[in-house]
Structure 1
């Protein structure tokens, strides 16, 4: 048994995540002093032994208004917290395991929290809290029948009662071993008190309520009366019905949650479809308007073509008329200057292609440039006279 942080750190020397595992162990032992840190060999199903650290002791569980100690053993893998711990219920010799969907006949614990273990979100403290809640609904142990016919106080906690938390502890008792569950050398030392004092006998017998070895409280006669059997049967039936109702409720609740999620998804899909349909309607309206506008333009174009085709041919030179002689002079000078510009361009192309000689090119370009300069000067004077921008 580790007594301080230094011993635990030394035991965790071979663990891959020493600091993280140490923090979790110290956090658990500070919240649940009934758990103690031990080191022992764990035997896997294939017979392979491995020296591991374990949390061994009791956790307090509330059942029907009272607090009870449940003995558990939590083995921490050397890869903790990357892999889930291996957990067992360890009843005392006067106790038996209550097999359920959470505990098998060997005492091994199966919880969704262990199955869905996530090293980023799961830890030992959360695991123990889940155990407390689960065992508070389905206790994992019950008392064995006793043969002593002596008067003793009797409680009525149903078919799964166990020892209340805080009674006077008796000397330590060695826990039984299970297949795949190694014997602990540290248990023989009896370093911490067991959670089930032998003086408390308020446990029902397992299974048959009419067993000859069952003990009654009516005067210590060692017999069970009909009313006791009736009360026990009613209690067992009530517990079974409650568990069945809870299972049905959880199943229906899960189906209802699924249906609600489906409804939310359908509502979101409907909203998206409404937005898409509204966009399509808007685009359809715009398309109809554009089609109507194009048809009107097409009709106007057809009428213009028909009108032009019925008219007489137009002389291009007479198509543009000016309102004053000054404007006509300006227009003629602009047209002639543009023609000279084109002539100079084509002279350059002729020189490049070798059609004309350089002397001919220079002489012609000089003549055309002189005319172009005179026309540009004329256009500038005309624009000044007409009051136009130069």
Structure 2
């Protein structure tokens, strides 16, 4: 059972304690063989810092059997900005099997760690990658008391040797703690930037143990058959993996194409809907114009059949007051025109200035009286003044 209060106390020094806490809880809930611990981590520059790590075992399926592989995952205090540091921690009856993923000290190198993305990579994905990788290339093998017995090395026809299949390791609950890691290269801290350099080269057939002499008595038919089957299985696994990756890439391309087609379909549906609405509006406007056109034709036909109307007869008032107002307005407008044309006559030299002034004075007095009369009529009629 995990002490959550203690775990939160350990993570106080971390930059993103909530993220680290959620990932640790998620991992321990799914992989019961891993437990969080806090201890000092030694960097290659001699500095030390207290970090939280996940220690224990993870279940790895290899050739139809499940084995508990002991590991330890150190979380940097900048997690998840920087990738964790991972080690294989073999027990006393195990030896490290050096490969392109594990070096002699047990440090783990993976593309997942090298290409760590803070917003996408997490501890659960890292452990799943470890399980798949170790299922193809086990990182440890069991030690044997007799280095030349067939249980320790399985001979191959070429005379080289390969480590045996992993034997059953102790269960996760019996996995003990491990001492602090020795300083490793490319992990100076602060300024730590893990997995930014290419993987170090590892010898192809050097497994950290002297090569025993191979005699004719140690090569048996079942060994040769098992070696051939192992090589065939690894080749088939590689081809299946390549085929799977190729199919996955094609599937991703098809999914992207499908998404683009769906987006295009949505856009086309929107355009068609707008066009349909505009067509309906246009049909309504055409119908309305046709109705108006028919009304105009009827009105023109009705007017053409009527007798001519006298304009003076058409302008009739309903009361004497309105008639007086209409006459005053018409007379005032006539005086306005008269004064205008008298000014034009003066400008052209048709009349003298004395005549112009005398006539304008008389007309202006009369115009003033007419305007006063119109104002009083409008007041009596209740119209706006």
Query: Do both share a fold (TM > 0.5)?
Result: yes
TM range (shorter): 0.5 to 0.7
Shift in Å at residue 297 of structure 1?
7.2
Moved more, 163-172 or 250-259: 163-172
Flag the structure with more relative contact order, 1 or 2, with Cα contacts below 8 A and sequence separation at least 6: 2
Q: Which residue of 1 aligns with 2:265?
A: 270
The question of 1:161 aligning with 2:165 is answered yes
Structure 2: which 5+ runs fail to align?
Answer: 155-161, 188-203, 340-360
Q: Where do 1:62-141 residues align within 5 Å?
A: 62-63=60-61, 64-91=63-90, 94-99=95-100, 107-112=107-112, 115-118=115-118, 124=123, 126-127=124-125, 129-131=127-129, 133-135=131-133, 137-141=135-139
Please give the alpha-carbon distance, in whole angstroms, between the structure 1 residues aligned to 2:268 and 2:323.
64
Please give the alpha-carbon distance, in whole angstroms, between the structure 1 residues aligned to 2:4 and 2:373.
111
Conservation of the 8 A alpha-carbon contact between 2:51 and 2:74: yes
Structure 1: which 5+ runs fail to align?
Answer: 183-204, 322-327, 378-390
Q: Could you give the per-residue CA deviations for residues 47-81 of structure 1, whole angstroms, max 9, x where no partner exists?
A: 57453525374422231443323233323223234
Q: Which residue of 1 aligns with 2:43?
A: 42
Shift in Å at residue 252 of structure 1?
0.8
* 2:228 corresponds to which of 224, 228, 233: 233
Conservation of the 8 A alpha-carbon contact between 2:84 and 2:113: no
Helix, strand or coil for the counterpart of 1:232? Answer: helix
Conservation of the 8 A alpha-carbon contact between 2:142 and 2:166: no
* 1:337 corresponds to which of 308, 325, 345: 325
Going from structure 1 to structure 2, the CA distance change for 1:165 and 1:215 (only over 3 Å counts) comes to farther
Shift in Å at residue 42 of structure 1?
1.7
Shift in Å at residue 169 of structure 1?
7.8
Going from structure 1 to structure 2, the CA distance change for 1:207 and 1:149 (only over 3 Å counts) comes to closer
Q: Could you give the per-residue CA deviations for residues 90-133 of structure 1, whole angstroms, max 9, x where no partner exists?
A: 45673312325xx57873332537734436x7654x25642454
The question of 1:180 aligning with 2:185 is answered yes
Conservation of the 8 A alpha-carbon contact between 1:61 and 1:136: no
TM-score (norm. length: structure 1): 0.56
Going from structure 1 to structure 2, the CA distance change for 1:272 and 1:176 (only over 3 Å counts) comes to closer
Shift in Å at residue 160 of structure 1?
7.6
Count of equivalent residues: 324
Q: Could you give the per-residue CA deviations for residues 246-269 of structure 1, whole angstroms, max 9, x where no partner exists?
A: 231132123213212312321331
Please give the alpha-carbon distance, in whole angstroms, between the structure 2 residues aligned to 1:78 and 1:363.
102
Shift in Å at residue 241 of structure 1?
1.0
Shift in Å at residue 19 of structure 1?
7.4
The question of 1:247 aligning with 2:242 is answered yes
Q: Could you give the per-residue CA deviations for residues 9-59 of structure 1, whole angstroms, max 9, x where no partner exists?
A: 89777544567757866886784356654313122xxx5745352537442
Conservation of the 8 A alpha-carbon contact between 1:91 and 1:176: no
TM-score (norm. length: structure 2): 0.57
Q: Which residue of 2 aligns with 1:383?
A: none
Helix, strand or coil for the counterpart of 1:234? Answer: helix
Please give the alpha-carbon distance, in whole angstroms, between the structure 2 residues aligned to 1:367 and 1:78.
100
Going from structure 1 to structure 2, the CA distance change for 1:240 and 1:367 (only over 3 Å counts) comes to closer
